[in-house]
Amino acid sequence: MGLDQGRRSIGARRNPDSADAILDAAEAVLVEAGYSGFSIEAVARRARAGKPTIYRWWPSKAALLFDVYQRLKRVDHPDTGNLEDDLVGFLKSLFSHWRETSSGSTFRSLIAEAQSDATVAAVLAEYTKGRHAHTGQMIERAKARGEVAADIDSTLVADLVASFAWTHLLTNRLDEDETTLRKAVGYLLKGIAADDAGSVGAAAVRRRRRRVIARTTR
């Protein structure tokens, strides 16, 4: 299910060039004019496309934003064998991706849009649920290694991590330095650590950690 459900799919022969031009233009407008300047008319002007063409394929502004975001999305969910490094790495990757591509503004706009459109809110909720699953897996892996207590609610922990990320995005604090990130993750991690993995053992775990090639999710 998605925001673009309204698109005609039977017998449609959409012009791919046109669609790309529109997505390119949407991205450009968002970067140059910001969310407040992001209108279908502006995108159409920029893409030298007609408004009906946009409306034919994207039922709403949010659907267009969503496609722009998904075209850009590329975030690491590292697997280093150590949860702290995994989480800090994930957040660093996410923040820099949000900062350095138009993906940050796009996602901010989507969240803002969701505040006035229940449909967008629903799609965004489902989407983030899927995202949380990836983070949850990082925590489950740590649980399997005995790094994290077995009775920990990994969904809730993933939610806490995501909350941290969202708030930093929304309040324009994506430039947070690694020290602060590590401190925040550290507080949380100590709170969910397995009882036999005290602060002494943690150093041992870190020494033991495998360096695994980061997995990149689409």
Partner DNA sequence: CGCACGAAACGGACCGTTTCGTTTCGCCGA
Partner DNA sequence: TCGGCGAAACGAAACGGTCCGTTTCGTGCG
- Residue 172 binds what, of DNA, a second copy, none (CB under 5 to 8 Å, by partner type)? a second copy
Give the residue among 158, 148, 135, 147 at the shortest CA–CA distance from 206. 147
Q: Contact 126/2 with Cβ under 8 angstroms?
A: no
By CB under 7 A, which span of 17-25, 127-135, 153-161, 168-176 interacts with DNA? 17-25
Comparing CB distances to a second copy, the nearer of 101 and 119 is: 119
Give the residue among 21, 167, 188, 2 at the shortest CA–CA distance from 98. 167
Comparing CB distances to DNA, the nearer of 46 and 168 is: 46
φ, ψ at 216 (rounded to 5°): -110, 125
By CB under 8 A, which span of 77-85, 91-99, 169-177, 204-212 interacts with a second copy? 169-177
Comparing CB distances to a second copy, the nearer of 19 and 149 is: 149
Distance of CA 135 to the CA centre of its chain: 11
Sign, Cα dihedral of 11, 16, 17, 23: positive
Please give the C-alpha separations between residue 119 and each of 8, 125, 130, 165, in angstroms, as whole numbers.
Answer: 19, 10, 17, 23
Comparing CB distances to DNA, the nearer of 39 and 167 is: 39
The answer to the question of residue 111 lying near DNA (CB under 7 A) is no
- Residue 60 binds what, of a second copy, DNA, none (CB under 5 to 8 Å, by partner type)? DNA
The answer to the question of residue 85 lying near a second copy (CB under 8 A) is no
Q: How many residues bind a second copy (CB under 8 A)?
A: 42
* 11's tokens: 């017998």
| Distance between start and end Cα atoms, the chain | 17
Residue whose token pair is 């002007």: 45
Q: Contact 76/89 with Cβ under 8 angstroms?
A: yes
Residue selected from 24, 28, 35, 72 as contacting a second copy according to rule CB under 8 A: 35
Give the residue among 73, 79, 93 at the shortest CA–CA distance from 137. 79
The answer to the question of residue 190 lying near a second copy (CB under 8 A) is yes
**For binding to DNA (CB under 7 A), which residues are involved?**
8, 11-15, 18-19, 21, 37, 39-42, 47-53, 55-57, 60-61
**For binding to a second copy (CB under 8 A), which residues are involved?**
34-36, 108-109, 111-112, 114-117, 121, 124-125, 128, 152-153, 156-157, 159-160, 162-164, 166-168, 170-172, 180, 183-184, 186-192, 195, 199
